[in-house]
């Protein structure tokens, strides 16, 4: 049987499984966990262990049709300004419960489009976070940047606030692909943005690309990647297009007949990966690439690669504090998610309450499975000397029986061999003990 037929028979194109940016995944969260649990867990944090902070800006001036992120369109700054007011109030509430002396080792601004903020709001917001949780001396500050929604003044304001890493959205440079996803983005605008970021001292630059978009073919993705390589990014995220129109309603604007079929999609991912590997990048986990020496590559090589809501990261802070609408905190006791809709989030904060409305308390079993899934997603290797009990061992044995020589099982580890890596999400899902009813995920390839 050809390799691709074998992967297909094992569910590569049919399985619908999570991306496991957390375990359990967000659809499992329940309303039994909310603001009181959030306050208790935050208050009990050890003050001497730095935390990571994620701050969500759920606004975009344009709403790209392919996008499945939690965002809302706005043509004016008024809702953005009032949202910043609310974030400031949330930070004041957090200051009231966090232990004195707690520091922030990392901060990430995501969205939506954080660069919708004008310089004065960037400054205000950064000051408010630092006042609530002062940064460590060697902190990292990364921002998601839409190259069409940023200018030198905004970059200067972000750099002045301490931004030292940036992630730019590219997706694809082909005009027909861009037209079909409702996202015009000239190469020249992107190149100027990269030049401005480098001039502002950004040392680690990530570029987001997506394969499986409408009209994408080998020639088009190849041309996009050549252009991306000319920008000399340090990291690449190469996401498979998640077509989930039942969740992201704007994806209904994408004509399904223009999407590459399963096999074409698989070949696009392979072609793109080959090009990055040939250009000297190292493969990181299932969908990232990094230059040797970049923090992500070092983390992968030294066994410190982790996975969180932003994807792969070298961040080893055990606690992530999510701020803003829909943000999720990872606390020692488990996960807490803020109210997702901006009005609901605003109401909670205006009433003087923390915004957590859903969550999950981690059991010992959850912690074990979470680490098993994370190891497979990061290292393609579950270290059985660290993680083992009867149930995990039984699952390892079932996987070995089902996947044959695509995996290797020894007393020390369950390893996914390179030929089986396209199945990583599916294999990881064998360790998932929470399969929520009625939740549809995107395809695994």
Binding residue count for ligand SAM, defined by CB under 6 A: 17
Binding residue count for ligand SF4, defined by CB under 6 A: 13
CA angle 138, 141, 143 (to 5 degrees): 165
Site for ligand SF4 in 9-38 (CB under 6 A): none
- Judged by CB under 6 A, which of 10, 57, 67, 314 binds ligand SAM? 67
Judged by CB under 6 A, which stretch of 61-69, 120-128, 197-205, 432-440 contacts ligand SF4?
Answer: 61-69
Of these partners, ligand SF4, ligand SAM, none, which one is at the site of residue 63 (CB under 5 to 8 Å by kind)?
ligand SF4
- Per-residue mark of binding to ligand SF4, 165-184 (x: CB under 6 A): ----x-------------x-
Beta carbon nearer to ligand SAM, 11 or 112? 112
- Judged by CB under 6 A, which of 4, 63, 69, 229 binds ligand SAM? 69
- Judged by CB under 6 A, which of 10, 41, 53, 60 binds ligand SF4? 60
Interface with ligand SAM, residue 173, by CB under 6 A: no
- Judged by CB under 6 A, which of 71, 224, 319, 326 binds ligand SF4? 71
Interface with ligand SAM, residue 241, by CB under 6 A: yes
Beta carbon nearer to ligand SAM, 111 or 420? 111
Shortest gap between Cβ of 327 and ligand SAM (angstroms)? Answer: 13
Shortest gap between Cβ of 407 and ligand SAM (angstroms)? Answer: 27
Closest CB to ligand SAM: residue number: 169
Q: How far apart are CA 13 and CA 36, in angstroms?
A: 42
Sheet holding 381-383, edge to edge: 381-383, 413-416, 407-409
Beta carbon nearer to ligand SAM, 66 or 335? 66
Q: How far apart are CA 414 and CA 416, in angstroms?
A: 7
Site for ligand SF4 in 306-325 (CB under 6 A): none
- Judged by CB under 6 A, which of 146, 174, 234, 287 binds ligand SAM? 146
Q: How far apart are CA 241 and CA 19, in angstroms?
A: 12
- Judged by CB under 6 A, which of 4, 21, 27, 63 binds ligand SF4? 63
Q: How far apart are CA 344 and CA 325, in angstroms?
A: 8
Shortest gap between Cβ of 341 and ligand SF4 (angstroms)? Answer: 17
Site for ligand SF4 in 110-149 (CB under 6 A): 111-113, 146
- Judged by CB under 6 A, which of 88, 144, 287, 374 binds ligand SAM? 144
- Judged by CB under 6 A, which of 4, 6, 27, 69 binds ligand SF4? 69
Q: How many CB atoms lie within 10 A of CB 325?
A: 29
Counting Cα atoms < 13 Å in the Cβ hemisphere of 241 gives 29
Instruction: Note whether 44 and 36 are within 8 A (CB).
Output: no
Shortest gap between Cβ of 279 and ligand SAM (angstroms)? Answer: 19
Shortest gap between Cβ of 411 and ligand SF4 (angstroms)? Answer: 46
Of these partners, ligand SF4, ligand SAM, none, which one is at the site of residue 264 (CB under 5 to 8 Å by kind)?
none
Beta carbon nearer to ligand SF4, 163 or 181? 181
CA separation, residue 151 to residues 33, 64, 119, 193, 224 (Å): 41, 20, 10, 7, 23
Per the listing, tokens 């015009």 go with 184
Shortest gap between Cβ of 254 and ligand SF4 (angstroms)? Answer: 13
Shortest gap between Cβ of 234 and ligand SF4 (angstroms)? Answer: 20
Site for ligand SF4 in 94-113 (CB under 6 A): 111-113
- Judged by CB under 6 A, which of 113, 206, 326, 353 binds ligand SAM? 113
Shortest gap between Cβ of 423 and ligand SAM (angstroms)? Answer: 19
Residues that bind ligand SAM (CB under 6 A): 66-69, 110-113, 144, 146, 169, 171, 208, 210, 239, 241-242
Residues that bind ligand SF4 (CB under 6 A): 60, 62-64, 67, 69, 71, 111-113, 146, 169, 183
């Amino acid at each position: 049987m050809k390799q691709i037929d074998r992967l297909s028979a094992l569910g590569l194109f049919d399985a619908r499984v999570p991306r496991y940016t957390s375990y359990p995944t967000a659809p499992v969260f329940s309303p039994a966990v909310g603001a009181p649990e959030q306050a208790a867990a935050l208050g009990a944090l050890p003050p001497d262990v730095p935390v990571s902070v994620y701050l969500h800006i759920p606004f975009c001036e344009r709403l790209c049709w392919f996008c499945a992120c939690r965002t809302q369109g706005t043509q004016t700054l008024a809702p953005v300004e009032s949202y910043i007011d609310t974030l400031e109030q949330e930070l004041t509430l957090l200051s009231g419960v966090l232990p004195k002396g707690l520091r922030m080792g990392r901060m990430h601004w995501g969205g939506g489009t954080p660069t919708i903020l004008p310089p004065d709001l960037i400054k205000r917001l950064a000051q408010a976070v630092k006042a609530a949780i002062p940064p460590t001396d060697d902190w990292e500050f990364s921002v998601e940047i839409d190259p069409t929604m940023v200018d030198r003044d905004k970059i200067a304001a972000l750099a002045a606030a301490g931004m030292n890493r940036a992630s730019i959205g590219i997706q694809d440079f082909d005009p027909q692909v861009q037209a079909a996803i409702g996202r015009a983005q000239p190469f020249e605008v992107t190149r100027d943005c990269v030049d401005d970021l480098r001039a502002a001292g950004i040392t680690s630059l990530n570029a987001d690309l997506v394969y499986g978009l409408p009209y994408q073919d080998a020639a088009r993705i190849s041309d996009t990647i050549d252009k991306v390589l000319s920008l000399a990014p340090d990291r690449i995220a190469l996401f498979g297009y998640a077509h989930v129109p039942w969740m992201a309603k704007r994806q209904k604007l994408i004509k399904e007949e223009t999407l590459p079929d399963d096999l074409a999609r698989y070949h696009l991912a392979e072609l793109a990966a080959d090009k990055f590997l040939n250009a000297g990048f190292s493969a990181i986990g299932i969908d990232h690439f990094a230059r040797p020496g970049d923090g992500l590559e070092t983390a992968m090589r030294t066994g410190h690669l982790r996975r969180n809501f932003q994807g792969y990261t070298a961040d080893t802070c055990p606690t992530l504090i999510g701020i803003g609408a829909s943000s999720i905190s990872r606390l020692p006791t488990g996960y807490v998610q803020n109210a997702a809709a901006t009005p609901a989030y605003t109401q909670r904060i205006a009433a003087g309450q923390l915004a957590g409305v859903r969550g999950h308390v981690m059991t010992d079993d959850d912690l074990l499975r979470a680490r098993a899934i994370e190891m497979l997603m990061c290292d393609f290797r579950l270290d059985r000397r660290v993680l083992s009990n009867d149930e995990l061992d039984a699952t390892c044995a079932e996987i070995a029986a089902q996947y044959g020589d695509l995996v290797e099982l020894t007393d020390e580890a369950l390893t996914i061999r390179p030929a089986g890596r396209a199945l990583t999400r599916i294999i990881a899902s064998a360790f998932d003990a929470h399969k929520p009813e009625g939740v549809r995920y995107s395809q695994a390839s």
